[in-house]
């Protein structure tokens, strides 16, 4: 590689790394407990579980569940209802001051068989919530998400430029060489390069999927504007149906289940919320396989008639968004995948930390015996 080209790649690698490293370190540190958020929840006693009962136990209607949940917070409105992926014995009902999107919500866990309130878990406080908010938006909402998305893009640039530089840097060394007898900074440079190559694909995948996840709000709004507007054209100009004239939600759920046979319910967005329309209850159904369980199928049910209006397939960009989420957190392959993701996360922390160390120690000269490409690489990283 020509010296001028190497210098350009070195400049790109240096500044993309410097700008994003501190934020990527934060994301790796906060992401580590999120990999095991269910296990941590069990340890802290914050996970809600339904008491054991015979499988033949009858279930109360969804309308009764919503009535019980609403009675706990009569000054609020029901926005969503959902069931855990591993249990149909629980309903989690989300209530907010208005139907508008907000972080001010209350959750009520209701037993699907008895209709009794089991708990009112707070998902907006505690250790996991703090880690989640730091990881997702830095407590800054959509601007925070987009900023972290930009940092993710810079990470991808740093990875690609690092790969380009790695070949010239290692042309006189065997792969995996760490020169321990030299200056500490040179040892950390070798370690940074070796571990960076080892975690290359994982870090690229996690960085890319994390960047895609930061666009979630914008992609959903675009989908609503692009496709839902067309589907809702027949309802244009019609008044919102009063609650007293709406069909039972249980009947709407049964209609949605018939529309999507072989699929399970993920969550329900009620009329007027951000994920639905003023005239529909939208049921988001998921598959029953490890991969398809991450792909949601919306089913729009008319609130007055409880008849299915539409079940549009999600566009490719929302399918990509849904697939990026389990890839990002490694929560689709059970405990072995969680452990692998955690180990790679820890190694990535070392890679990022060593890059930060090299930059902070940039005033110390590298060993004079190294070839010019290695020296330029050391300067690029620092």
Alpha carbons 108 and 91: distance in angstroms, whole number: 8
Contact 332, 291 (CB under 8 A): yes
Mean pLDDT lowest for which of 224-238, 256-270, 303-317, 333-347? 224-238
Region 66-85: what's the mean pLDDT?
95
Q: What is the DSSP-derived secondary structure letter of residue 260?
A: S
First CA to last CA distance, the chain: 21
* Residue 370: band (very low, low, confident or very high) from pLDDT cuts 50, 70, 90: very low
Residue 323 or 23, more confident: 23
Q: Which long-range contacts (CB under 8 A, 24 or more apart) does 350-353 make?
A: 350/191, 350/195, 351/192, 351/195, 351/196, 351/199, 351/203, 352/21, 352/24, 352/25, 352/28, 353/25
Quickly count helices (H) and strands (E) in the chain.
Answer: 13, 8
**DSSP secondary structure code for residue 18 in this structure:** H
Each residue's pLDDT tens digit, 351-369: 888 888 777 776 554 443 3
How far from the centroid of its chain's Cα atoms is residue 302's Cα?
A: 30
Q: Taking phi first (over 0 means left), then psi (-120 to 50 degrees means alpha), and beta for anything else, what does residue 351 get?
A: alpha
Find the range with the poorest average confidence among 264-268, 271-275, 371-375.
371-375
CATH of domain 47-120: 3.10.450
- Tokens 């975690």 belong to residue: 199
Domain spans, the chain: 3-31+131-213+332-381, 47-120
What mean pLDDT value characterizes the chain? 85
What token pair was written down for 239? Answer: 């008044």
- The closest alpha carbon to 211, from 18, 21, 24, belongs to 24
Spell out the residues 6+ positions from residue 155 whose beta carbon is closer than 8 angstroms to its own.
16, 20, 24, 203, 207
Residue 108: pLDDT band with limits 50, 70, 90: very high
DSSP 263: -
Judge if pTM exceeds 0.95.
no
**In the prediction, which pLDDT does 179 show?**
63
Contact residues for 41 (Cβ-Cβ < 8 A; gap 6+): 47, 128
Give the integer Cα–Cα distance in Å for 181 and 122.
Answer: 53
In SS3 terms, 295-350 reads as CEEEEEEECCCCCEEECCCCCHHHHHHHHHHHHHHCCCCHHHHHHHHHHHHHHHHH
């Amino acid at each position: 590689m020509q010296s001028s080209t190497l210098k350009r790649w070195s400049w790109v690698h240096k500044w993309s790394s410097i700008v994003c490293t501190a934020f990527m370190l934060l994301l790796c540190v906060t992401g580590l407990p999120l990999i095991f958020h269910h296990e941590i929840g069990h340890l802290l006693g914050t996970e809600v579980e339904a008491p054991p009962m015979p499988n033949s136990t009858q279930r109360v209607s969804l309308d009764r569940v919503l009535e019980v949940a609403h009675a706990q917070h009569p000054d609020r409105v029901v926005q969503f209802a959902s069931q855990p992926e591993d249990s149909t014995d629980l309903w989690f009902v989300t209530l907010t001051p208005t139907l508008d999107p907000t972080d001010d919500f209350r959750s009520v866990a209701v037993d699907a068989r008895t209709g009794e309130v089991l708990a009112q878990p707070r998902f907006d406080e505690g250790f996991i919530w703090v880690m989640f908010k730091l990881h997702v938006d830095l407590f800054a909402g959509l601007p925070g998400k987009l900023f972290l998305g930009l940092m993710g893009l810079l990470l991808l640039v740093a990875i690609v430029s690092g790969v380009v530089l790695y070949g010239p840097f290692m042309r006189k060394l065997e792969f995996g060489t760490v020169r321990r007898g030299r200056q500490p900074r040179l040892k950390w440079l070798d370690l940074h390069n070796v571990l960076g190559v080892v975690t290359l694909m994982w870090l690229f995948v996690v960085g890319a999927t994390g960047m895609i996840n930061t666009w979630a709000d914008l992609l959903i709004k675009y989908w609503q504007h692009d496709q839902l507007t067309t589907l809702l054209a027949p309802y244009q100009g019609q008044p919102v149906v009063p609650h007293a004239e709406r069909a039972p939600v249980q009947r709407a759920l049964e209609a949605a289940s018939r529309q999507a046979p072989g699929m399970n319910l993920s969550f329900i967005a009620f009329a007027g919320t951000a994920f639905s329309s003023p005239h529909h209850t939208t049921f988001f159904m998921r598959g029953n396989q490890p991969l398809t369980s991450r792909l949601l199928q919306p089913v729009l049910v008319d609130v007055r008639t409880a008849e299915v209006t539409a079940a549009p397939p999600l566009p490719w960009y929302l399918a990509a968004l849904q697939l990026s989420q389990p890839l990002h957190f490694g929560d689709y392959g059970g405990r072995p995948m969680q452990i692998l993701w955690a180990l790679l996360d820890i190694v990535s922390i070392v890679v990022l930390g060593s890059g930060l160390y090299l930059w902070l120690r940039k005033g110390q000269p590298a060993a004079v015996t190294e070839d010019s490409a290695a020296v330029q690489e050391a300067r690029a990283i620092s």
